[in-house]
Amino acid sequence: MISNQELKSLYNELNETKFGNELPKRIRVRWDLRRKEKATAREYTKFIKGKLKHKYTIQFGSAFLVLSKEKLTPYMIHEMLHIRDYTQNNYKHHGDGFRGDNKRLGGNQ
């Protein structure tokens, strides 16, 4: 099983090699064993000391535990594209641009 630390390392590696380090470095990447089949990317916002702060999370459900790093990578890329869209205020879920980038970068279909 890949550890939470290894998940974060995969995120950092792909951020550098596929996204040119444009994604946030401060992000929580972890297993969420309460979810079975889902992989999710989320943005959380709240005001702290009068400023809007953004936090990002990528979580993988228990169905992904059996995957090797190589097999998990396309799912990570897919979720990272969601994070990219959140950070660029361009969130369109699975629109044409998202699907094209997903295919070009090697994300899951």
pLDDT at 22: 95
pLDDT at 12: 98
- Evaluate if pTM is beyond 0.95: no
Q: Which of 6, 59, 52 is nearest to 35 (CA)?
A: 59
Could you read off the pLDDT of 26-41 as tens digits, one per residue?
999 999 988 888 899 9
pLDDT at 36: 83
pLDDT at 51: 85
Could you read off the pLDDT of 40-81 as tens digits, one per residue?
999 888 888 888 888 999 999 999 999 999 999 999 999 999
Considering the domain delimited by 4-105, tell me its CATH architecture: 2-Layer Sandwich (3.30)
Query: Greatest CA separation found in the chain?
Result: 43
Q: How far apart are CA 14 and CA 47, in angstroms?
A: 30
pLDDT at residue 5 tops 70: yes
